[in-house]
Structure formats: structure tokens, C-alpha cells
Amino acid sequence: MASLLSGGDAGAAESELLSSHLSNLIPRKSLRGLKSTTVPGLDASITNSEDDEEEDIVDLAANSLLNKLIRQSLVESTHRVEVLQKDPSSPLYSVKTFEELRLKEELLKGIYAMGFNRPSKIQEMALPMMLAHPPQNLIAQSQSGTGKTAAFVLAMLSRVNASELFPQCLCLAPTYELALQTGRVVEQMGKFCIDVEVMYAVRGNRAPRGTDITKQIIIGTPGTVLDWCFKRKVIDLNKIRVFVLDEADVMIDTQGFSDQSIRIQRALQPECQMLLFSATFEDSVWQFAERIIPDPNVIKLRKEELTLNNIRQHYVLCDSRKDKYQALCNIYGGITIGQAIIFCQTRRNAKWLTVEMMQDGHQVSLLSGELTVDQRASIIQRFRDGKEKVLITTNVCARGIDVKQVTIVVNFDLPVNQTGEPDYETYLHRIGRTGRFGKKGIAFNMIEVNNLPLLFKIQDHFNSQIKQLDPDDMDEIEKIEY
Ligand SMILES: Nc1ncnc2c1ncn2[C@@H]1O[C@H](COP(=O)(O)OP(=O)(O)OP(=O)(O)O)[C@@H](O)[C@H]1O
């Protein structure tokens, strides 16, 4: 899928960064007074607002788009693909090459032009089912980046008849931006399928009045698609051969989208192939999937588990925010750090810390909820490329970022939920690593005394030790290894 960002040489960057020493960023008071506009991410959030006191709310659609924008390659998994066939007696095929799928020549060319050599793990099982005759319905779940979009785009392109000038494939996406991303994949993969065209049924894009749509593939959001089908009557649902519901988990999170999608699905012919994709599979997604996809095959690829096993966790007891910052500076001065991510609970705290660190001469960037997704993607990319050593962020990005060279995570504030209890999931997402890539890491929790019980709850919950550290004991700090 097209990325708006250019990739960096992660390996080289990593070794360079690991060998650098943050003590060369030791406070330089002379830098105080530097213009804050030199900090990526601070520009957009320079003014304080009431929102600052609030925590950033995780927006699933924005997170999903961010993931697509910053992804550099296929996400591999060590888990086996689990398959549940609607007809268990029919043989189960999997493919190791794209040739085995007997695709149209121009489609195969498009796949190779995208640099795909062989099917991803989920594609090995999903593609034979999706391309089977007669068409089969499918519900597929696997984490973001495992090749779902490429799989259903391939299915749509292989079922389209370029000489028939009417909509034949319909793909529903939760937002305009996500629809565009899928459209880009159609355009790339279908580069050699001349005469196959895509149209976006999204708000702001007008359906041609009085004239029929001649494009074969329609990608759109449920509301606009519904409007084009039933009010404007420019899409004939009877003629749709492939119906795709992408990002089902995000879709059901958006008010009205489930019902609108079901209304569209109800008007399709029984022989229309129906495909549903989701990155997660909570019960609510599953219930929706079963309502909307009749007689499905089901494919699941479990996500790699996050673990705290290879993380050394510490906590530092502090009296105030200023005290937390001082402790942070001491730790930085004492140990060799590649890159660090610092999490704050509110935007206000994140901004405050960004300004403090910047004025003390650290190379920092700020990633918070008021930035656009494109701005966030560009900040993450700069950080990945090593342009800044420290990334300060709020909860909004706890789950989206995967920067392999990060060895230090700091909870400047502990994650808590609305009832004031520890948010264990977020804690795990902030500092956990997948067991498979089990690189070591260190986590520091900056704790004000009244929050100590929260820390102990986290310790008990994960049954893993969090060691107290004296921020003034430089000998002890220097002994920390990772
Ligand atoms: N068989 C393949 N070989 C190599 N790269 C692939 C293959 N299939 C997909 N990719 C690439 O891997 C990345 C992830 O694929 P894709 O976007 O299809 O995953 P996804 O599961 O749909 O993720 P999301 O849910 O975030 O959209 C993309 O950059 C895509 O171009």
C-alpha cells in the first residue's frame, strides 16, 4: 500500500542511535528561551486550551489510518492461521505462490510490480477461498499489516469484467481517508488492468445525476453508498458480485454504520460474494460479522502476545511534576539511551514537559491528539529516522507506535482509567514487547507518593517486579543495564 512517507535504513539508524549517549544532551541552560516552534508537533499545539486537561481519546479510524501511513512492510506472525470452513468436508487449499492462483496475466504483473513475491500467511489460506468457484463468503481477522487489504483487492480485481461498464464490486470503509487508501491499492495492483476504474462514494463526491456510473469498483462510506444506491439510484446492488466490508471493528464503533451496512447487504443478490475483514475480534465484531455475512468461512490469525518479561521496570518516587522532571534528567545523565518515548496522561502535561526538555537542550518531538493524522505520521517517521531522540506523547499514540530502536519507555504519568484505577492494558501496550522480537527494554515510572498504590496494583496484576530507584544515586543509575 502506498505510504506517504519514505522509509529509513532502520538497521543503520539503530546502531547509530544505540551508540549515542544522551548525556550529550545534558541540560544546556543557555538554550532556554529557544523558540518552541523548533519542536516537531509543538507548533500545532502551542496554544493552551481547555482540551489540554483532557486525555486524548483513542480514535480507531485515525489509528488505523496512521498504521497504514507509517507501515513499512508486511507484519509477519509466528502463529498458525486458524480456519473454520462452512463445509468441513470440502478440501482445504492453501497456496505458496501467486502463480498457483491462476490469475489474469495483467493482475499477476501488478502484484509483482508491487514487490510481492509470495502470499502472506493469511493470504495463503484466504486467497484460494476468495477466488474459488462458486464464490465463497469469508470473515477474516488478523492484525493490521498482515495483508488483508491486498487480498480482497486481488479478489475484486480478479472478478471484475472490464468490458462491462457498471459497478460490480462494492467496498465499504469507515472513513473517506481509509477508502482512499484502499483505492490506492486497487490502482497500484490494477495498474495493468486497463479499463478497470475505481470511484469513491464518499461525502463531497457527487454522484453523476441522471447518468449511470460506469466504473466497476466502488469504494465508499456506508452513508454515502446507501444514498447512491437507494436515493440517487446510481448503483444497482443487484449487479454487485463482490461486497467487501473492511475494518469491521472500526465500522461498528461508528454510530449508524452497522445498520447502514446491513441495509446495503440485504439488497444484494444471494450469489454476491460477501467478505468481511477486521483487525480485532471482540464479541461485538463477531456478532456483527455473523449478522451480515451468510454461510461464511472464517479465517483467524492470532496476534503476537505482548509481554513484560524482557522489560526491566523501575519506579522513582517524586513529590511534584517538577521533581519528576528533575529525576528524569538525572536518569538521562546517567545511562546510555538510544531513543526514548515518554507518556503523559494529559496534553497539558505533555506540552509542559516538551517545553521544559526543549529549553534544556534535548531533541524532542511531541505527538498528541490535536495533530492531524498526516502530521502524526510525519512525526513518527522523523523519530524512526532518529531525527529526535525523545518522543513525548499522550495515550492517543500508546498503541500505534512501533519503533524498534526504542529501548526506554517512561511513564511520566501512570495510565489510569476513568474510575481512577490503573489502566493495565495501556500499561502493557506502552512498555510491552512481543515475545518473538524479545529485545530488552527499560521502563521508568515517575510516581507521586499518592499514586504509589496504583503502581503496586500494576505490579500485582502483571506479577512482575517494579524496582524502586533513587534518582539521586548516580552509582545505582549507572549500574542499570539493558
Ligand atoms: N504478499 C505480500 N508480500 C509482500 N508485501 C505485502 C504482501 N501483501 C501485502 N503486502 C504489503 O504489506 C503491507 C500490509 O498489507 P495490507 O495493507 O494488505 O495489510 P492489512 O492487513 O490490510 O492491514 P490494515 O488492516 O492496516 O489495512 C502493505 O504495505 C502491503 O503492500
User: Residue 481: what pLDDT?
Assistant: 61
End residue of a domain, out of 241, 276, 301? 301
- 330/260 same-domain check: no
**Count of domains in the chain?**
2
Ligand 1 center to 340 CA (angstroms): 28
CA-based radius of gyration for the chain: 25
Contact 175, 61 (CB under 8 A): yes
Mutate to test the pocket of ligand 1, among 5, 95, 120, 278 (most ligand atoms within 8 A of CB): 120
> How many angstroms separate the CA atoms of 217 and 283, rounded?
31
> For residue 471, is the peptide bond before it cis, meaning its omega torsion is within 30 degrees of 0?
no
DSSP string over 221-239:
-HHHHHIIIIIS--S-GGG
**Would you state the pLDDT for residue 183?**
96
In this prediction, residue 185 has a pLDDT band, given cuts at 50, 70 and 90, of very high
Rounded to the nearest angstrom, the gap between the alpha carbon of residue 272 and the centroid of all alpha carbons in its chain is 30
352 and 453 fall within a common domain: yes
Residue 285 per-residue DSSP state:
H
Q: What is the pTM assigned to this prediction?
A: 0.81
- 243-298 residue pLDDT tens: 999 999 999 988 889 999 999 999 999 999 999 999 988 899 999 999 999 999 99
Packing angle of the helix pair 176-189, 105-113 (nearest 10 deg)? 110
Claim to verify: residue 281 and residue 357 sit in the same structural domain: no
Q: Are 364 and 392 in contact (CB under 8 A)?
A: yes
- How far is 173 from 202, CA to CA, in rounded Å? 10
Tell me which residue range forms the domain holding 323: 307-479
Query: Which cell numbers in the block locate residue 300?
Result: 483467524
Q: How far is the CA of 133 from the centre of ligand 1 (A)?
A: 25
| Ligand 1 contact, 339 CB (< 6 A) | no
Domain boundary among 249, 273, 301: 301
Amino acid at 269: Q
d(Cα 194, Cα 417) in Å, to the nearest integer?
Answer: 52
CATH number of the CATH domain containing 186: 3.40.50.300
pLDDT at 33: 36
* DSSP one-letter string for 202-225: -TT-PPPSSS----SEEEE-HHHH
Ligand 1: does its nearest atom lie under 6 Å from the Cβ of 71?
Answer: yes
Mean pLDDT across the chain = 83
